Every structure is written in C-alpha cells, then in structure tokens.
Copies of this chain bind each other. A is one copy, B any other.
Amino acid sequence: MTRQLVLGLEAVMADGTIISSMKKIIKDNSAYDVKQLFIGSEGTLGIVTKAILKLEEAPSSRNAAYVGFNDYEKVVSFLKHMDSNLAGKLSGFELIWRNSYEQMTSVSHAVRPPLPYNYNYYVLIEALGSHPQNDHAEFQTLLENAIEQERILDAVMAQSPSDVEWFFRIREDVNNLVDFMKHDQHFDISLPIPLIGDYIADRYQSLDQIDGVEQIYAFGHVADGNIHFMIGKTNLNLDLKKKIDHCIYDGLKKIGGSVSAEHGIGTHKKDYLNLCRTPEEIALMKSIKLTMDPKGILNPGKIF
C-alpha cells in the first residue's frame, strides 16, 4: 500500500496554512498522525505539495510463472502455501479469469500464451529475492512439488528476464482488452479473498444478461482482495451505466467489500459510497471536511 510507504508529507490547507510533516523517521507516535488525513483524500482536505517515501533495497532476483487452476479454492490455498514457503519473497499473485487470459494472449503474436487455454483461472505469480541461483531453483522446486501434490494443474516458469517481461506484458497491457470495445466501463472493487471466486462468477452471469453488455473481463491482485472489471458496452446510455454499476457494486455491502480498492471515489462512485461506508462514517468524514475546508473550495464536488 502506498500509505505504508509515506514517511513525511507537506500539504497546503484551504486557508493557505502549510502543514509540514516532512520527517524521515519511521516510527512517530507524537499525537495524531495528521498526514494520514491527506493520504487518499483526493485533494479534498488539502493539496499535497511534497512527500517523503520509504525505499527498500532493490532485489537481485526475480522469478515468475503462470499457473493454471480450475477451482477458486485451490487458488487461495496455493496463495497461502506459496506465501508461507516463500517467506516474504512473494511479490505478485495476479489472478486472471479464463476469458480475460484468452483475450490478453490472442490479440497479437507478441503476447502468445505461456499456458494453453485449458483452465478456468490463471495466476501470474512473482517472487523477488536476493540470491539469483538459489531463488530460481527454490521457485522451480516449489512449482514442481505443487504439481505433484495436485495443488495446481500446470505451471510454466520464466527462464529469462525477457520471459518475465513477456509474462507481465500479458497482464499489464490492458489495451488488448479495451481496444475491441465500443465503449468501456472500469471497476476496482475490493472484497474478502475467500469470497472472490463466487462473487465474480455471479457478476459474470448477471452482467451477461444485461442488454448492451458485450465484453466482460475480470482480473486482479487477489492477494490484496482487489479485482478489476473491464466491461465493453454498445452505448453510453446512463441507464446502462447504472445497471452495470449496480450489478457489480450492490452485493458488496453484504460481504464487507468496497467500491474502490485503489482509484478512489471521485465523481463516478459518489452514489455508491453508502454501500461500503456506514452513515456514521460518512457523517464523520463530512464533519472533518467541514472543519478543514469550511468553504468547500478544495476539489469541490468530489467524494460527497
């Protein structure tokens, strides 16, 4: 999380006051941690003008693989298994639903599929370490054992830095999904990890029944519980937009999810904030907004 890397911050408040918390120290419990107020507040409480970020030593080894699954439960248990066995080195666990994987790899020969189209779920797993030779061997052994123990159905491991680049280009170049859409609508929901499989499967089914929806692609950072949806649609009709929004968001309240894991509320998600925040939380937010920006001049119209 970016929040955890922010050591110091400078922000300008609505009345021009400069709040300077530009410290380079890691632990500070001297009264309220005011910088937390500004992080993620979308410019509505102050304008961040400087930041001090924590850096980490660069890793010297990077390994990656694509792994195939048919059951979501197996995805979660493999995540736990690898997290436990890689002891701090697991750095990526990107889940891609079958139809998204097919589209991501079918468009051009530059991104041919590392695994065949036999599975319901594909995971791009990455580990960063500091011992290139040992780490490669360890990663490979873990994958081999996982196949033997029937934790996973298949795996293909990157054998070179260019393989790693190829593997990541598949996941990162989302233009391959969007380019074929007439119009597109994006989502970055957050939900408890064990519930992701069923929730997304249900969304696929319901979205498919909405007139005007042409493409549905899901993928995400499953270790963080953060799933992205990219929906292709025939028109920009507001009713259609809202139908799609409700289809994806409405179930989140019951399962304790969030309408935004990363991108924030802005104007698009204002109507849905009450699905993931209680009235008391929203009232508290508004009272803080009123205290810090009584005239409402900072990024007006956003969030609330």
Contact = CB atoms under 8 A, between A and B. Distances in A.
A83 interface: yes
A265 B30 contact: yes
A26 B225 CA distance: 7
Contact of A30 (B39, B258, B287): B258
A81 to B, nearest CB: 9
Contact of A262 (B27, B34, B280, B290): B27
A288 interface: yes
A131 interface: yes
Contacts of A221: 27
In this complex, which of A25, A36, A128, A264 has the most chain B Cβ atoms within 10 angstroms of its Cβ? A25
Contacts of A192: 24-25
Nearest to A282: B31
A263 B89 contact: no
The majority secondary structure among interface residues of chain A is: loop
Contact of A226 (B27, B128, B134, B273): B27
Nearest to A86: B130
A224 B280 contact: no
A136 to B, nearest CB: 13
Contacts of A131: 85, 87, 138
Contact of A88 (B24, B89, B134, B283): B89
Contact of A190 (B25, B129, B226): B25
B57 A19 contact: no
A293 to B, nearest CB: 12
Interface string A179-221: 0000000000011100000000000000000000000000001
B285 A34 contact: yes
Contacts of A134: 134
Nearest to A264: B29
A265 B28 CA distance: 11
Interface string A261-304: 11111000100010011101111110110111000000000011
A230 interface: no
A17 interface: yes
A265 B30 CA distance: 6
A57 B36 contact: no
Nearest to A274: B30
A246 interface: no
A174 interface: no
Interface of A: 1, 3-4, 13, 17-34, 36-37, 39-41, 45, 57-60, 80, 83-89, 128-131, 134, 138, 190-192, 221, 224-226, 256-265, 269, 273, 276-278, 280-285, 287-288, 290-292, 303-304
22 contacts: A1-B26, A1-B27, A20-B281, A21-B281, A24-B192, A25-B190, A25-B191, A26-B226, A27-B225, A27-B261, A28-B258, A30-B258, A30-B264, A30-B276, A31-B277, A31-B282, A34-B284, A37-B37, A37-B288, A58-B84, A85-B131, A284-B292
